[in-house]
Amino acid sequence: MEIKKIAGDSFQTEVTEAGVPVLLDFYADWCGPCKAQLPVLEQAAEEACDVKFCKVNVDEEPRLAEQFQVMQVPTMLIMNGEQIFRRITGFHPLEEILEFLEM
């Protein structure tokens, strides 16, 4: 499954109105741990078909990063509608990501 890149104007449609849980990855292109996390998230997206995966570049979307109080990257939020179920910071291996998604 593709990880959808989110911009401020598509956030509501893609995340809060998704109708399924969403893993939202806040990242930066210059961030080494973010680069390492991406293939793990791509693999998790293949395995967790009932979860939508989205990503937000904090340099391109600083308002979204501020809105969700993202202080470091990578930061991942697991959301359903407007509710945040879990905030995850730093790099995590596939097994942990899949465990985080068990709600």
Task: Give catalytic residue positions.
Answer: 31, 34
Summary count for the chain: helices (H), strands (E): 4, 5
Q: Which DSSP helix (H) or strand (E) runs through 57?
A: strand 52-57
Count the residues in the chain.
Answer: 103
